[in-house]
Amino acid sequence: MTSDSELLKLAHSVCENAYAPYSKFKVGACALYESGKYYLGCNVENASFGLSLCAERNAISSAIANGEKSKLMKIAIVSDNTSFCFPCGACRQWFSEFCHDDFEVIVEDDQKAPKSFRMSDILPNSFKL
């Protein structure tokens, strides 16, 4: 299995590709699935800010586009602008749609060490159909 540090390293590698001309806040994500496969995503901004795409949803969309059918196990999220780069509410709801019961969000602390958070911590009482 891919370690949390490896997932963060992969997220950093794709962070460089982010299109963030407005905020200058580049974000990278690496989503690990139950199948053992991982998918990368970076944020893509748009002049109409509501049409921007977060790195996390980009990674999940890439998995879906590549035919991934297993559950989302972990996602690592990084930004060179800050430590503790937490997902927005929309991304948290996306995680809820596709995640495994033991889903984890991996971010970096101030010393660039991995920190893990469970879905129940970041989105308690999530909406499900």
Residues with a catalytic annotation lie at 56
Structure token digits, residue 61: 């969309």
Q: Which helix (H) or strand (E) holds 63?
A: helix 55-65
CB atoms within 10 A of CB 8: 22
Residue 35 in tokens: 């199948």
Please, what is the angle between helix 4-15 and helix 55-65, to 10°? 100
What are the respective helix, strand and coil percentages of the chain, to the nearest 5? 30, 30, 40
Distance CA 7, CA 74 (A): 9
**Structure-token match 């200058």, residue found:** 24
